Each structure stands twice: as C-alpha cells, then as structure tokens.
Amino acid sequence: MFSILLALLLATPQADAARTKDIASFYGVRENHLTGAGLVVGLTRTGDSRRSAASIRALANRLQGLGVSLDPDEVMARNVALVMVTASIQSDSRTGSTLDVTVASTGDAASLMGGYLLMTPLMGPDGQVYAVASGPLIVGGYSVEAGGDSAQKNTPTVGRVENGATVEREVGTAVHYQELLEVDLVLRDPDFTTSSRLADAINKDFNEEIALASSSSTVRLAIPQEFQGRFALFAAKVEAVEVDVDAPARVVISERTGTVVMGADVRISAVAVAHGSLSIEVKRQVDVSQPGPLSKGSTVAVANHEVSASEEPGQLTLVEGVTIGELVSALNAMGVKPRDLMVILQAIQAAGALHAEIVAI
C-alpha cells in the first residue's frame, strides 16, 4: 500500500498547476440547497411498515388531496416509503431548467429500488418553493430477504432521480455582474501563497495590473474597459488562467478504514523509531464430557479456553529522510501496517520531528 502511495507522490510535482475555475469562484456564484418531504411508491413490499405511522398519514393526506377519501387504518401495503428529497440549485439557474435530486428514506423501509417519487415541492430556507421533483429512482444497491437469510449491497435506502426536479422559481443574486467595475474571486481553500500567485498569474495573462490579493481567500479584480458589460467573456478568460497551487503540509488519517494519505510537502527531521507489536489470542474450544458406565450421569458440554501471547521483536530504525518518500521507504522496510503507521506518525509529531498537520477524519 505504501509503495503505491510513494509512487503517486514522487510522480507528482511539488507545485500543481490548476485552472482558476477549479480552485476559486466569483463572489455571488454559489449553490443553494433545497429540501422537501415526499412519498416513493411502487415498492415491492420493501417500503415502510405500519410501525412508521408518519408514512401512513402522509399517504392518506396525499390521497385525500387527490379526492380519494382514505382512513390511515385502511392502509396495509408496504409499497410506500416516506422520504426526504434534497437538491442544489445554482444562483443563476433559470425557470424550466432541471436539477438532480437525492432521495433518502426516513422510515423503516428496507429498499427504495424500483420506486417512483411522487411530485414533491422543494423549498429553500425562506420557505419558498423553488423546484418540483418527481420521477423513477436509481438505487445503487439492493436488499433481499428469504427464509430468514438476508443480503445487502451498498445502501438501498438512498437513491437519485437524474434531472428529476424542474426549477419553478429563480433564486437570483444580489450581484448585477453586467454593471460591475470590480469583482472578487474567492478561493475554496484559503491560502496566502495561492492567492498571491493567482493575482500574479491573472495580471500576466491580461498583460496589465487588474488583480490584487486582498486576503488569503480573496483576489480583487478590476474589470478592464474592453470587458465591462461583457462579464461572461471576462469570467471565461479568468477561469482559464492556470496557477501553481500551494497548500499546508498535511497527513490525513482515517481510523475507520485504516487509510493514511500524506502530502508531498511533508518533511521529517532525523528521528529514531522502534516498532514492535504484542498479539494476544484467546481460543474457545467446546469438548463433550461423557458420564461413566452405569453412572446415570448425563452428557454435558465443557468449554475450555486457551490463551496465547506473542510479541514480535522490536527494532530501532533511524529515519533520516527529509521527504515523505524517504519516510515511506524506511517504514516499508520495517514492515509497518497502515494502522501502525497512524500511531507512529502521531508519536513522531509529538517528538517534534514531523513538520505537518495531522488531520483525522
């Protein structure tokens, strides 16, 4: 695993060139989140059970709105599931455009596979309806049960409806781009070095001083005379500018999956590392105790426990590398596993030899 990571890191240059559109966006251009509660129908007895009273009431209310009088006690089928529907709408999305929506069960449905989302209004934080969603679900998993056995792949209680929502109201933005003389570029990952490099790259591309890094997250742009009133053309030119991105040295570890990702800028001072592991194993073996002849005893099961412990010999290794590549090579030679590496890295940082931020996810 470490060898693969090392190969990827060494193949990557220290400074990574990226387009402006990949690391920043214009102020005011953003996504807005929409949400709504709806019903998925057409399930093959994998929907909510009668224990989920909210689903039953929602179905009864929906049918009453369609002119069908139905008491909640009369609903017996499990082909309906109560779901939450979410989507993201851009600030410049126009009426009639479509959005992808995500559908997630809120009850005890076993699977949404094969379901159809009934018409569901999607509202913003202000309580206004901005889109309406409906359509067949695409579920990337399954859940089946038969004879007491069950099998499941991925998460079958979450699905998507591609282009399932139609925009009915435009969000709009307070920024009138066609009238602007200045505009801000906002970095997704604030960094003083990157913002300064971005300003220099834009000035070089336009061959005039129009950009100024005002903070770690913001680059102020003065729109040239030739692009005033033509913001879309100006934005397209700015977004195509390439810049060398810089970022703090980080080591990201995930205890849940045993994953360790280290950036190429991580530096290690000289440090000695001793690595060994203690393994304790407890085995339970069930034996049968037979009674003696004519003893009128009964056959009983006796559990015997066997405890064994083993410790691999520890070895002291001097890690003198100053790059992440040399660190990985040294740890590979020690036979370190990913979960052991997490503890070693934290210990190296505590010793003051790891010059990077450790981020746990």
Each residue of 326-358: pLDDT tens digit?
Answer: 666 666 666 667 677 777 777 777 877 777 778
Of 259, 245, 264, give the one whose Cα is nearest residue 6. 264
Residue 3 lies in a domain: no
Give the mean pLDDT of 213-236: 89
Residue ending a domain, choose from 167, 183, 212: 167
Residue 1 lies in a domain: no
Number of domains in the chain: 3
Residue 142: pLDDT over 50:
yes
Both 147 and 213 in one domain: the answer is no
- Chain position carrying tokens 């909640």: 72
Tell me the Ramachandran region of residue 42: left when phi exceeds 0, alpha when psi lies from -120 to 50, beta otherwise. Answer: left
pLDDT at residue 334 in the model: 63
pLDDT at residue 280 in the model: 41
Give the mean pLDDT of 280-302: 59
Beta bridge partners of 17: 244
Residue ending a domain, choose from 183, 218, 245: 245
pLDDT at residue 12 in the model: 44
pLDDT at residue 8 in the model: 41
Both 40 and 23 in one domain: the answer is no
**What's the one-letter identity of residue 189?**
D
CA distance 33 to 131: 11
pLDDT at residue 29 in the model: 79
CA distance 119 to 113: 18
Both 225 and 213 in one domain: the answer is yes
pLDDT at residue 35 in the model: 92
Residue 110 lies in a domain: yes
Residue 6 lies in a domain: no
Residue 4 lies in a domain: no
Phi and psi, residue 142, nearest 5° = -155, 160
Residue 307, domain extent: 251-290+299-360
Residue 69: pLDDT over 80:
no
pLDDT at residue 14 in the model: 47
Residue 8 lies in a domain: no
Both 86 and 212 in one domain: the answer is no
Give the mean pLDDT of 95-102: 92
Assign 66 to helix, strand or coil. Answer: coil
Both 241 and 308 in one domain: the answer is no
Whole-Å CA distances, 174 to 91, 137, 272, 311: 10, 35, 58, 66
Residue 82 lies in a domain: yes
Both 54 and 161 in one domain: the answer is yes
pTM metric for this prediction: 0.61
pLDDT at residue 86 in the model: 94
Residue ending a domain, choose from 245, 261, 280: 245
CA distance 112 to 79: 9
Both 35 and 153 in one domain: the answer is yes
Both 149 and 210 in one domain: the answer is no
Mean pLDDT computed over every residue of the chain: 76
Residue 162 lies in a domain: yes
Of 37, 169, 43, 56, give the one whose Cα is nearest residue 110. 43
Both 255 and 350 in one domain: the answer is yes
Both 240 and 261 in one domain: the answer is no
Both 157 and 205 in one domain: the answer is no
pLDDT at residue 9 in the model: 45
**What's the one-letter identity of residue 342?**
M
47 compared with 198, residue with greater pLDDT: 198
CATH number at residue 19: 3.90.1150
Both 105 and 221 in one domain: the answer is no
**What's the one-letter identity of residue 326?**
E
